[in-house]
Amino acid sequence: METFAERIIDFNGKLEFHGVLPEGIRIMNPFREDDLILPVSSSFYRKYYNDNKVRHLILGINPGRFGAGVTGIPFTDPKRLLDPCGIDYSGRITHEPSSVFVYEVIKAYGGVEEFYNDFYINSIFPLGFTIQDEAGKEKNFNYYDSKELTAAIFDFSVENIRKQIGLGIETDICYCFGTGKNEQFLRFINKEYGFFDEIIALEHPRYVMQYKSKFKQAYIDKYLQAFKRIR
């Protein structure tokens, strides 16, 4: 019988965006840019999703260069992939602050096995974007940072959410990482398509680590309180 893991792996392997992007914005598809990423992420999903249990969905914005951009797993950088996830990894070691926060939440929730038994994390747009700054340095870019980009990825994002629900997702509650533009966009889509009964938005992990690190424990507690809704 096909498991949740195999459905995720198939979804990742088929990810490809054919739309036209605004000038200067590059799409980042880790599953096609690095031969290491699909096998590594597949090992992760087969370890934690080798079943047919229905889970709740958490949606972020779009992958960044130092987390899912190198592991293929949202909010999981190589350091967290090695420990606590216990997945062999031989690629470059990067550090993503969002991943640090998410795994502190996971630890407080009860650990990786318990958390991933209840939740599946992805993004409203499952591929990343980058731009070059004035110095020629590549930087992450969010789908909502450009109205033209948001319009270009709208249909793909809707279809992405629909496909992810089909992996085996409960639709009573969806969690959203981001209480600003990401939440607004998801609520707009949900009003149009009625994917979820309720959306619970939480401050984005990057926002917490960058601007509210002194209050990190309060945000961890807020996450945990919100996640209790499914229990």
Q: Token match 């020629």: residue?
A: 136
State yes or no: pLDDT of 1 exceeds 80. no
Distance, in Å, from the CA atom of 64 to the CA atom of 77, rounded to the nearest integer, reads 10
Residues 21-35 have pLDDT tens digits of: 999 999 999 999 999
Strands (E), 142-212: 169-177, 198-202
Find the mean pLDDT for residues 115-140.
Answer: 93
Name the residue ranges covered by the structural domains of the chain.
4-230
Q: What is the pLDDT of residues 154-192, one digit of tens each?
A: 999 999 999 999 999 999 999 999 999 999 999 999 999
pLDDT beyond 90 at 91: no
- The torsion angles phi and psi of 103, rounded to 5 degrees, stand at -75, -20
Q: Looking at residues 69-94, what average pLDDT do you find?
A: 95
% of the chain exceeding 90 in pLDDT:
93
55, 118 contact by CB (below 8 A): yes
What tokens were used for 78?
A: 């190589």
pLDDT surpassing 90 at residue 137: no
CA–CA separation, 110 and 174 (whole Å): 20
Region 116-122: mean pLDDT is: 98
* Superfamily classification of domain 4-230: Uracil-DNA glycosylase-like domain (3.40.470.10)
Rounded Cα distance between 59 and 178, Å, is 9
Contact by Cβ (8 Å): 199, 187: yes
